[in-house]
Amino acid sequence: MKRTTLLLSLLLAASLLVLVACAAPAAPAAPAAPAEAPTEAPAATEAPAPAGPSGTLVRAISTFPNSLDVPQTAERQASTTAWQMFDSLVWFDDDGTIVPSLAESWEVSEDGTEYIFHLRKDVKFHNGEPFNADSVVFSWQRAAQGNFEYSTHWQRADSVEKIDDYTVRITTPEPDALFLSIMADNWAMIPPGYFNEVGQEGFEAHPVGTGAFKFVEWVKGDHITMEANPDYWRGAPKLEKVIFRPIPESATRVAAVQTGEVDIATRLSAEEAATLEGLEHVQVISYPLTRIFYVAFNNLTTGVGQPTEDKRVRIAMNLAVDMDAIIDAIFDGHAKAANGMVASGELGYDGAPPFGYDPERAKELLAEAGYPDGFDMGMACPAGAYTHFEEVCEAIAGYLGDVGINIDLQIMESGQYWDLEAQKQLPPLFGDSWSSAVGEAYPRLIGSLGGMDFTYSAWYDENIAAMLEKIKVTVDQQKRAELYRELQAYMREDPPFIYLYEPVTFEAVNTRVKGYRPRSAETYFLFNVSVEE
């Protein structure tokens, strides 16, 4: 009798558990009760005037910013958060074109090494300090001399001089085509008076810029709060308050956007985005990241003397991999097959079709190159570093096996993997990815193709090096775009990589949020964003 009671209660508990477990994944599809309830009470009580900033936006980010001082931010989400409080002299518009910001206009000298910037005269920092030429000189001195994450971005300028209160001259040691892009990406202007008063530590504890939002508080690991800067030089922002919440676990970000606790949840996978479909108050948006996945060949160390030195073999290997099938099977179609190392949306992207899948042609090329029966080769990929990348690598190894290339695939812990990559000790084939935040492919190209001079490069081709050198010193955008196109064509004839895909990222946005338009490289600007009450 007693035994049956125990059994029964155990069974009951087990079935309850199963019920809970089954019910849970279905939860998003059901009309969840809290979803309809109004989300967090907007802090509009202080500013009832319809014209002024109103409402609070909560944005979930996936990492904990290390700093809100732009040159010190260690990764994208820290820097995009910090940028809401700052401005640079120039800025990217929605199309990725460099446009005026704190500088009204600028001129570049004939030889491309000297810039004269004319500054806006109506700008004040959050503490009331006026923005002028001294602020530019000071911001540069501090960041270029500091031992910061991105000091190198500021050291690209040789000198920054004040000509008059609202004019500065900036020189670079040689023509630097990326200079303005890097300025838009990292040169946040800071107030000299305030900085000198509070010092580096004080500035990090309470950053002050000219941006649309002002710093309020930062509870480490919990939240960062900013409020509208009503005197912003572009006009007052529409939001009264912005709160950034680091939520590292993506399943929790999904839950928090479902309950309405956050308005925007970033960095979701396709599967997670799919669970949000059908929810009335959540809109899922996706966009390609300016990142390219590839399998690199090596002609510097481990790949010397290997069949992959023959470009026919490398073309064959590109043709042997059915990228579309991989994208469909592993990413549910949510990625874009890469046609080279320039991402769509970057300067000079030529939009040519990718290699495509042609195993017959691949076998012919292998036979032409003298490997009718294929060959054996080692390949490595990092574990846990990128979404589903292990599966992608396994699929590639399978496809290469189909044309006779037997791959010995090693999936390694990512830390160890990157150490070996830096030492150029990985097998002659290795998978990785590379992003670029400056609107063009140059950093990715030089970093991965710079030969022995670059830590993570395993390839050197003098033609590519010569073209990259030209791109580096050609300041004219049109000409540079042309050079990129030339390089892309060359890199399809003689590919240093198996080109894989450009990943797509998903964000979930509450439908009460209006005017939110994230760009590739995950930059966004909250100035024009509003929330409906």
> Which residues are registered as beta bridge partners of 501?
337
- Sign, Cα dihedral of 91, 93, 95, 99: negative
Is 256 a residue that touches other proteins (CB under 8 A)?
yes
Q: Is 249 in the site for other proteins (CB under 8 A)?
A: yes
Residue 375 within binding range of other proteins, rule CB under 8 A: no
- Residue ranges in 110-149 that form contacts with other proteins under rule CB under 8 A: 147, 149
Q: Is 63 in the site for other proteins (CB under 8 A)?
A: yes
Residue 221 touching other proteins (CB under 8 A): yes
Query: By C-beta, is 325 or 422 nearer to other proteins?
Result: 422
Burial code (b: 16+ CB inside 10 Å, e: under 16) for 156-185 equals bbeebebeeebbbbbebeebbbbbbbbbbb
- Nearest CA among 193, 194, 228, 187 for reference residue 211: 228
CB of 204 to other proteins, least distance (A): 8
Q: Which of 127, 167, 172, 252 binds other proteins (CB under 8 A)?
A: 252
* Contact status: 33 vs other proteins (CB under 8 A): yes
Residue 166-205 contact track with other proteins, rule CB under 8 A, x = bound: -----------------------------------x----
Candidates 168, 327, 426, 446: give the one binding other proteins (CB under 8 A). 446
**Phi, psi dihedral angles at 190 (to 5 degrees):** -125, 155
Q: Which is nearer to other proteins, 64 or 375 (CB)?
A: 64
- Is-contact 362 396, C-beta < 8 A? no
**Cα–Cα separations (whole angstroms), residue 58 to 47, 194, 513:** 18, 29, 10
Check if the beta carbon of residue 343 is closer than 8 Å to that of residue 294: no
CB of 27 to other proteins, least distance (A): 5
Contact flags string 2-31 toward other proteins, x per CB under 8 A: x--xx--xx--x---x--xx-xxx-xx-x-
Q: From 157-165, 177-185, 242-250, 462-470, give the range in contact with other proteins by CB under 8 A.
A: 242-250
Q: How far is the CB of 55 from other proteins (least distance, A)?
A: 19
Give the E-state strand segments of 13-85 in sequence order. Answer: 56-61
- Interface with other proteins (CB under 8 A), residue from 122, 360, 373, 453: 453
Q: Beta partners for 264?
A: 59, 509
Q: Using the rule CB under 8 A, is 454 a contact of other proteins?
A: yes
| Residues 523, 516: Cα–Cα separation, whole Å | 11
Q: Minimum distance from CB of 249 to other proteins (Å)?
A: 5
Closest C-alpha to 302, from 494, 498, 496, 458: 458
Of positions 145, 155, 159, 416, contacts other proteins by CB under 8 A: 416
What is the per-residue DSSP string for 440-472? Answer: SSHHHHHHHHSGGGSTT-----HHHHHHHHHHH
Which of 47, 116, 216, 255: binder of other proteins (CB under 8 A)?
A: 255
Q: What share of the chain is helix, strand, coil (3-state, %, to 5)?
A: 35, 25, 40
- Only one residue has tokens 């996706």, namely 286
Nearest to residue 271, comparing CAs of 327, 326, 331? 331
Q: Is 217 in the site for other proteins (CB under 8 A)?
A: no
On whether the CB atoms of residues 432 and 498 are closer than 8 A, the answer is no
Q: Is 248 in the site for other proteins (CB under 8 A)?
A: yes
Q: Is 150 in the site for other proteins (CB under 8 A)?
A: yes
Q: How far is the CB of 510 from other proteins (least distance, A)?
A: 14
Rank residues 249 and 280 by Cβ distance to other proteins and give the closer one: 249
Tokens in use for 61? 């980010």
**Closest separation between CB of residue 256 and other proteins, Å?**
5
How far apart are alpha carbons 241 and 226 in whole angstroms? 6
8 Å CB contact between 376 and 408 = yes
User: Are the C-beta atoms of residues 245 and 219 closer than 8 Å to each other?
Assistant: no
Q: Does 67 sit near other proteins (CB under 8 A)?
A: yes
Which residue's structure tokens are 């460099």? 98
- Told to check if 152 binds other proteins by CB under 8 A, we report yes
Q: Shortest gap between Cβ of 201 and other proteins (angstroms)? A: 7
Which residue from 390, 434, 424, 425 is spatially nearest to 409, judged by alpha carbons? 390
> Which span sits near other proteins by CB under 8 A: 59-67, 84-92, 105-113, 181-189?
59-67
- Shortest separation between residue 465's beta carbon and other proteins, angstroms: 14
Q: Does 259 bind other proteins (CB under 8 A)?
A: yes
The one segment of 249-257, 304-312, 401-409, 475-483 that binds other proteins by CB under 8 A: 249-257
Q: Which is nearer to other proteins, 124 or 472 (CB)?
A: 472
Number of helices (H) and strands (E) in the chain: give both, helices first: 17, 21
The residue ranges that bind other proteins (CB under 8 A) are 2, 5-6, 9-10, 13, 17, 20-21, 23-25, 27-28, 30, 32-34, 37, 63-64, 66-67, 72, 74, 147, 149-150, 152, 201, 219-223, 245-249, 251-252, 255-256, 258-259, 261, 413, 415-416, 418-419, 421-422, 434, 443, 446-447, 450, 452-456
